[in-house]
């Protein structure tokens, strides 16, 4: 690397940045999110779920809690997840027999999603694990009413407005 290049890089970070990566909320959030996903993936492994599979399965169950059968599109919208990613995760959950897909009587292009008995059992095992990982990583700040959760919910709500 040339001295000019080094000086240009130094100037870039002195003039056009927040001074260091750890001063950028996006960078810190990215690191924390990946640390959280690694931790929860490790803990959910015995239940045969990844974080994304758990979150998707939980979202299907949440949307079906009143007796309905959500579609993949509804799950994608509720979780703010790309529809193709939801489709791939649903396929994996279907292979594990945690969800079943049935034709949607109102729309022949859509499928209704149902949590199976095996999926319900997996959720019963996984929910306490996920809650414990959250408690360990975020403490009281991440609990309902905690400042971290409140701040993240405010950001999330503003994005959807």
Collect contacts of 9-17 with beta carbons under 8 A, ≥24 apart.
Answer: none
- Find where tokens 């022949």 sit: 108
Specify the CATH number for the domain of residue 154.
Answer: 1.10.10.10
pTM of the model: 0.86
pLDDT digits (tens, 9 = 90+) for 110-142: 899 999 999 999 999 999 999 999 999 999 999
Q: Are 115 and 64 in contact (CB under 8 A)?
A: yes
What is the pLDDT at residue 101? 95
pLDDT digits (tens, 9 = 90+) for 57-99: 999 999 999 998 999 999 999 999 999 999 999 999 999 999 9
Which pLDDT score is estimated for 21?
78
Instruction: Determine which helix (DSSP H) or strand (DSSP E) holds 63, and give its type and residue range.
Output: helix 51-64
Domain total in the chain: 1
Calpha distance 41→28 (Å, rounded): 20
- Our CA angle for 20, 23, 25, nearest 5°, is 130
Domain that holds residue 134: 3-160
pLDDT one-digit tens code per residue, 7-44: 777 777 776 667 777 878 889 999 999 999 999 999 99
């Amino acid at each position: 690397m040339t001295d000019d290049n080094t000086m240009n890089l130094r100037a870039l970070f002195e003039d056009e940045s927040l001074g260091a990566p750890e001063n950028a909320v996006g960078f810190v959030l990215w690191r924390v999110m990946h640390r959280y996903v690694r931790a929860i993936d490790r803990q959910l492994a015995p239940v045969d779920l990844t974080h994304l599979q758990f979150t998707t399965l939980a979202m299907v169950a949440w949307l079906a809690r009143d007796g309905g059968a959500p579609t993949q599109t509804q799950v994608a919208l509720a979780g703010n997840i790309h529809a193709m990613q939801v489709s791939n995760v649903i396929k994996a959950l279907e292979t594990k027999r945690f969800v079943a897909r049935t034709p949607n009587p109102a729309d022949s292009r859509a499928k209704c999603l149902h949590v199976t008995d095996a999926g319900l059992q997996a959720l019963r095992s996984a929910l306490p694990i996920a809650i414990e990982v959250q408690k360990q990583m975020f403490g009281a700040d991440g609990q309902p009413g905690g400042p971290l959760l409140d701040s993240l919910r405010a950001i999330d709500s503003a994005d959807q407005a």
